[in-house]
């Protein structure tokens, strides 16, 4: 599981930050025996620290109980981070 760094403070608006938190709440609220749900939640928490894990979207897609609407919301955030990294290179979120 590789990761890429981005400056979350520079990239995310308050709406983006709220969206990631809302997605995490939805993921954690799913009643499933899938062992990848906690892994997905941890990868999503990583976004707050400026870490984009390369398998976050494939992990989400592999969780059968995860609604497609949530997967699409994750995809939108991943696309935003990926586009920033490809355009500006990797950077660090200062804490």
The enclosing H or E element of 5 equals: strand 3-5
Give residue-wise pLDDT tens across range 47-59: 999 999 999 999 9
Is residue 60 within 8 Å of 40, Cβ to Cβ?
Answer: yes
69 occurs within a structural domain: yes
Helices 14-28 and 68-88, axial angle in degrees (round to 10): 140
94 occurs within a structural domain: no
Give residue-wise pLDDT tens across range 71-92: 999 999 999 999 999 999 999 8
pLDDT over 70 (residue 10): yes
81 occurs within a structural domain: yes
Report the DSSP beta bridge partners of residue 52: 4
50 occurs within a structural domain: yes
Q: Count of domains in the chain?
A: 1
22 occurs within a structural domain: yes
93 occurs within a structural domain: no
pLDDT over 80 (residue 95): no
pLDDT score recorded for residue 74? 98
Question: Containing domain of residue 25, as a range?
Answer: 3-88
């Amino acid at each position: 599981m590789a990761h890429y760094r981005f400056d979350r403070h520079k990239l995310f608006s308050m709406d983006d930050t709220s969206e990631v938190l809302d997605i995490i709440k939805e993921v954690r609220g799913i009643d499933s025996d899938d062992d990848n749900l906690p892994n997905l939640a941890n990868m999503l928490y990583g976004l707050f620290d400026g870490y984009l894990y390369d398998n976050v979207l494939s992990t989400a897609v592999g969780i059968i109980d995860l609604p497609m609407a949530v997967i699409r919301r994750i995809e939108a955030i991943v696309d935003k981070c990926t586009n920033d990294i490809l355009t500006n290179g990797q950077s660090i979120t200062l804490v």
